[in-house]
């Protein structure tokens, strides 16, 4: 009975299992039908399932790409929003803060690592004083800067802040390093006069821009711009806190091959004039770059002059060469005259001439011409 059936390999297997005579016929038929179903199912899986799997795989990858595309868009929008409305923007380099934090107790050692800055006062203090006196019609003897408000940015231990205070100015010194300000406050406390004229704050420039907008007659950033991480933002803040016609004073290092050779290789690595890692050549700025940024922010550069330091004598002197250090003085543009006020002034002059013409025949004839 089973010999004539074409059951294939599955049927033959079942015949061998049941043995001769075909015992348990009902059970055998059930097993055979199951085997045929399994065979057909297996054939469907082998022939059709790959195509179905490929379709599902394509759909899954499309869904994957769509999902991550949306996530990336959300991330980019979040970044733009944070960049536009973030209040944590800073020009302070945390690495620079650590460097100066370790040296905070050495500011007033005139023979130590800050000796060049002590000596630099012989140039930068008169440079600031003389340029500010050009804007003061009358000044008091002994206190030539009396009545002027000056902001000393990156004041450190107060090496420049104190001489400006002794000239009569009211000076605010700011520095992001807490230990620097503690050293500066401790040193000024020995002089009751300076204690009244000088105020120190632990902060960055951008943190006080809003509260001190157009407050200062002068802003001083001496040996500072080569340490900030965002020069343009820093100079914008300097401009914002200046009064119209106020002065900005900067001393810094030019970005030249000579400044790298002498300012970093020699001064830091060979002679040890300043500690290693104090300066980063990429942060140095040329006078041309500085002037370009200042002019774009409404500041007109008045003077750029070179400064040279003699490591053997320990003194600075002025130079026409700006390849190494240089000092710059810029002035913020004043309040522009309103067009209407100019028109009224013209009318006033015209009316005055007409009044003179009525009483003076010579003026009357001149107006006719």
Task: Say whether 189 counts as a known binding-site residue.
Answer: no
**Strand ranges of the sheet holding 242-253, from the earlier edge strand across to the other edge:** 198-202, 170-175, 149-153, 216-222, 242-253, 325-332, 299-310, 315-319
Task: Say whether 175 counts as a known binding-site residue.
Answer: yes
pLDDT of res. 346: 41
**Residue range 311-321, pLDDT digits in tens:** 899 999 999 99
Per-state percent for the chain, helix, strand, coil, to nearest 5: 55, 15, 30
Task: Say whether 152 counts as a known binding-site residue.
Answer: no
13, pLDDT greater than 70: no
Q: Predicted confidence band at 269 (pLDDT cuts at 50, 70, 90)?
A: confident
Mean pLDDT over 189-211 rounds to 95
Mean pLDDT over 206-234 rounds to 96
Mean pLDDT over 221-246 rounds to 96
What does the DSSP 8-state code read for residue 262?
A: I
Q: Predicted confidence band at 358 (pLDDT cuts at 50, 70, 90)?
A: low
259-268 CB burial, b ≥16 within 10 A, e <16: bbebbbeebb
pLDDT of res. 338: 38
Domain positions in the chain are 94-332
322, pLDDT greater than 50: yes
Percent of the chain with pLDDT over 90: 53
Task: Say whether 124 counts as a known binding-site residue.
Answer: yes
Closest to 21 in 3D by CA, of 43, 1, 41: 1
**Residue range 41-79, pLDDT digits in tens:** 545 444 544 444 455 444 544 444 554 454 444 433 333
Mean pLDDT over 274-291 rounds to 90
Mean pLDDT over 291-309 rounds to 97
Task: Say whether 222 counts as a known binding-site residue.
Answer: yes
CATH superfamily of 94-332: Vaccinia Virus protein VP39 (3.40.50.150)
Closest to 153 in 3D by CA, of 106, 223, 104: 223
Task: Say whether 272 counts as a known binding-site residue.
Answer: no
**Residue range 150-196, pLDDT digits in tens:** 999 999 999 999 999 999 999 999 999 999 999 999 999 999 999 99
**Residue range 114-133, pLDDT digits in tens:** 999 999 999 999 999 999 99
352, pLDDT greater than 70: no
Dihedrals phi, psi of 248, to nearest 5 degrees:
-115, 130
Q: Predicted confidence band at 139 (pLDDT cuts at 50, 70, 90)?
A: confident
Task: Say whether 154 counts as a known binding-site residue.
Answer: yes
108, pLDDT greater than 90: yes
DSSP codes of every residue in 84-101: HH-S------HHHHHHHH
Mapping DSSP to helix (H, G, I), strand (E, B) and coil, where does residue 251 land?
A: strand
Q: Predicted confidence band at 277 (pLDDT cuts at 50, 70, 90)?
A: confident
37, pLDDT greater than 60: no
């Amino acid at each position: 009975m089973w010999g004539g059936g074409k059951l294939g390999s599955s049927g033959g297997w079942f015949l061998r299992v049941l043995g001769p005579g075909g015992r348990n016929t009902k059970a055998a038929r059930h097993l055979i039908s199951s085997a045929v179903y399994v065979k057909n199912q297996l054939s469907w899986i082998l022939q059709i399932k790959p195509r179905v799997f490929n379709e599902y795989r394509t759909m899954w990858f499309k869904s994957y790409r769509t999902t991550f595309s949306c996530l990336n868009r959300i991330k980019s929008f979040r970044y733009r929003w944070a960049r536009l409305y973030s209040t944590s923007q800073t020009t302070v380099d945390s690495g620079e803060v650590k460097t100066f934090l370790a040296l905070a107790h050495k500011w007033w050692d005139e023979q130590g690592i800050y000796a060049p800055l002590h000596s630099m006062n012989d140039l930068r203090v008169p440079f600031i004083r003389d340029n500010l006196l050009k804007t003061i019609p009358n000044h008091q003897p002994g206190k030539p800067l009396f009545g002027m408000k000056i902001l000393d940015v990156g004041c450190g231990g107060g090496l420049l802040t104190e001489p400006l205070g002794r000239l009569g100015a009211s000076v605010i010194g700011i520095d992001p390093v807490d230990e620097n300000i503690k050293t500066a406050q401790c040193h000024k406390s020995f002089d009751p006069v300076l204690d009244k004229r000088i105020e120190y704050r632990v902060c960055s420039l951008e943190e006080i821009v809003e509260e001190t907008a157009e407050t200062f007659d002068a802003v001083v950033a001496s040996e500072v711009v080569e340490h900030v991480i965002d020069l343009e933002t820093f100079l914008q803040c300097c401009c914002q806190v200046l009064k119209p016609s106020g002065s900005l004073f900067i001393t810094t290092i030019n970005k030249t091959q000579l400044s790298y050779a002498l300012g970093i290789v020699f001064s830091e690595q060979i002679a040890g004039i300043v500690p290693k890692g104090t300066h980063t050549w990429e942060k140095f700025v040329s006078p041309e770059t500085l002037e370009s940024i200042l002019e774009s922010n409404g500041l007109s550069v008045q003077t750029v002059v070179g400064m040279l330091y003699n490591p053997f004598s320990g003194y600075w002197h002025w130079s026409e060469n700006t390849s190494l250090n240089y000092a710059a003085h810029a002035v913020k543009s004043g309040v522009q005259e309103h067009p209407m006020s100019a028109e009224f002034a013209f009318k006033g002059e015209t009316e005055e001439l007409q009044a003179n013409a009525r009483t003076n025949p010579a003026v009357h004839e001149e107006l006719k011409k």
